[in-house]
Amino acid sequence: MTTADGKPLQVDDRVRVVRLLVAHRDVTGASTSPPQPHIGEEGDVVSDVGEGIVLVEHATADGQTIWLAEFLEDELALVERPMALDEE
């Protein structure tokens, strides 16, 4: 998936899970048994894995990871893109 301006998702983008093409996926997190991602949850892209796959972290307000999982870009929608330093 690309953003509304036609650009691919990138690291630090804020995204929302809009569909789950993989119902059960490998997740990691701060707890010993992190929950599965759900539609509507938001997170931050932390890595571009390649081939249309990104690693997304869903965390608490104080930064504790709830889940960390790989998503196809088609499963995500851009919520917010941080302003680049040269765009100020």
Domains, the chain, in order of start with CATH, read 14-81 (2.30.30)
Write out pLDDT tens, residues 5-37: 567 899 999 999 999 998 899 999 999 999 999
Kindly indicate the confidence band of residue 47, based on its pLDDT and cuts at 50, 70 and 90: very high
pLDDT at 63 over 60: yes
Q: Reply yes or no on whether the pLDDT at 1 is more than 70.
A: no
Residue 74 pLDDT > 60 = yes
Per the CB < 8 A criterion, the answer to whether 17 and 71 are in contact is yes
Distances (CA, A) of 41 to 13, 67, 83: 14, 11, 22
Q: When comparing pLDDT for 47 and 7, which is higher?
A: 47
pLDDT at 3: 54
Is residue 26 within 8 Å of residue 53, measured between CB atoms? no
